[in-house]
Amino acid sequence: MSLPQIIILGAGLGGTIAAYEIRDAAKGKADVMVVNDQEDYWFVPSNPWVAVRWREPDAIRIHLPPIMKKKGIGFTAVGAKRVHPQENRVELKDGTSLPYDYLVIATGPELAFDEVEGLGPDGFTQSVCRTDHASHAADAFDRFCENPGPIVVGAAQGASCYGPAYEFALILDTELRRRKIRDRVPMTYISPEPYIGHLGLDGVGDTKGLLESELRNRHIKWITNARITKVQEGTMHVEEVADDGSVKSAHDLPFGYSMILPAFRGITAVHGIEGLTNPRGFILADKHQRNPTFKNVYSLGVCVAIPPIGPTPVPVGVPKTGFMIESMVTAIAANLKLELDGKEPAEEATWNAVCLADFGDGGVAFVAQPQIPPRNLNWSSSGKWVHFAKIGFEKYFLHKVRRGTSEPFYEKLAMHALGIRKLRFK
């Protein structure tokens, strides 16, 4: 008899690690197959460095097929056209279909640039959401430096990833000073966050004070509760919204260079499937990362539906940070192992967050246990050590992906020693 089939949809940060961990958990009991839309893995957290040429794209790229083959994991880069959960199959873009017994959705998001006129690489702003976007942004930055002017960096309304926006604003400041042209570049940070350092998490520790201080010391002005109405070449039209939802003031911000993170939504392959997704196309999941309607479908990462922390004048989404995603991976792998043994899922991810935000010559780190408040631990710190820690993390994570390892024993021991767990105590 053939073994049960587990399909993992997506091979980004979460999907790649999930493939390794699920393969180890299900070895001999199920076959594992990864469906992705390309053959390469890209270390997205380093994209802000790519956009100022501190990294070349190839330095953060890993070719996956040989690694997956060595691990005994099936792999296709044809890409998914549509998920059919009622029929337990994934329709591929070449017209074929793959049946599954269990599906793990780890697709990441679709980038909703079209929700704001003129936004994105096809419009008038840059992006660091994908490595090819960051490479395009590097070319644009080189051209900008030949004729410096104002810069606008930030996030659009509904965005749910704010760390890279702060990172990039401050990395730009560092690079402009290195090029001796910072004095010719007025900078503005704009965000739908109700205050600087909110991060979609109502702050972590003193991220408000730390990030306000960084922006102030680097002469970067900011506008919060910001809603971008339209982007034209060289001008960004922004409404500053009051607490009651009315427009407090309108700003026409000139720019010679801009990077704006867009809102996210679910990818087309899953969008609009009743019982599987919410209206934005994000996957509905219970405390075991399992879909309430389709019990053999799990999800992890940015594609998971998580409600906002609370009401804000401008829509602010919740980020899914790296360690939080890894905790989802570990819970899913453990629950699939239970299911293959004929038992019910029992493990829950902690959703703890450990984050490093690099500013080029410093940075901010925070630990939130769990990521969503109220928390058992709520800590943040800043210093030059964060910059070096992020360089070390990049090299370490790429090493893990190349080796086909999810969590080496020494990482597990170190995290346990710090009291940072991936699974909740029962």
Please list the active-site residues.
161, 355
Helices 384-403 and 13-26 pack at an angle, to 10 degrees, of: 50
Which residues fall within 8 angstroms of residue 15, CB to CB, at 6 or more apart? Answer: 8, 9, 34, 36, 104, 106, 107, 108, 300, 301
Q: Distance between CA atoms of 239 and 253, rounded to whole angstroms?
A: 11
Which residues fall within 8 angstroms of residue 323, CB to CB, at 6 or more apart? Answer: 352, 353, 354, 355, 420, 422
Which residues fall within 8 angstroms of residue 85, CB to CB, at 6 or more apart? Answer: 103, 273, 275, 276, 291, 293, 294, 297
Q: Distance between CA atoms of 226 and 228, rounded to whole angstroms?
A: 7
Q: Distance between CA atoms of 250 and 301, rounded to whole angstroms?
A: 35
Length reported for the chain? 426
SS3 259: strand
End-to-end CA distance of the chain: 35
Query: What residues pair up with 153 in beta bridges, in sequence order?
Result: 189, 259
How far CA 72 is from CA of 19, 34, 134, 192, 329, in Å, comes to 10, 11, 33, 45, 19
SS3 213: helix
**Residue 308 Cα to chain centre, angstroms:** 16
